Amino acid sequence: MKVLVALDKSEYSQKAFSRALEMAVQEQARITVISVYPDLFEMDEGAPRVKEALKSSAAAVVDAAEERARQLGVPVEKVVVGAVSAADAIVTHATEIGYDMIVMGHKSRSGLEHLLLGSVAAKVVAYAPCSVLVVR
């Protein structure tokens, strides 16, 4: 089984990663962790520094996940990608590679925040080419 785990710095994604690690140990699943950083800066001259800082932060998230998995003897592949939409990047990567499952965390939003921002998890569930496990 190939499992893609979407990570950021939130406690929800860390809970999702814990669940994915449990699955990997039980099912001998192969895990890939993906962290998507915002790639919105095209025109500002300070953009390269901001973009590099965001990319470094995303890389630190997947590096920490790899270390945690290594302690359990679970091999992890790491992916860091910049995109305008995290949901689109996750779905595109899952489609290209052919994962059996996506595991991700979800923080509930309500009211205006949900209306304006939507939910990365909801978009992934709607468009994913495979099953999606959403962990709270």
Whichever domain contains 127, its CATH number is: 3.40.50.620
- Using 70 as the pLDDT threshold, list the residues of the chain that sit under it: 41-46, 108-118
**Tens digit of each residue's pLDDT (9 = 90 or more) over 13-50:** 999 999 999 999 999 999 999 999 998 766 566 677 88
Closest residue by Cα to residue 2 from 39, 48, 33: 33
Query: Which residue range is the domain that position 65 belongs to?
Result: 2-135
At 45 the pLDDT is 62
At 110 the pLDDT is 54
At 116 the pLDDT is 45
Number of domains into which the chain is organized: 1
pTM of the model: 0.89
User: What is d(CA 6, CA 16) in angstroms, rounded to the nearest whole number?
Assistant: 8
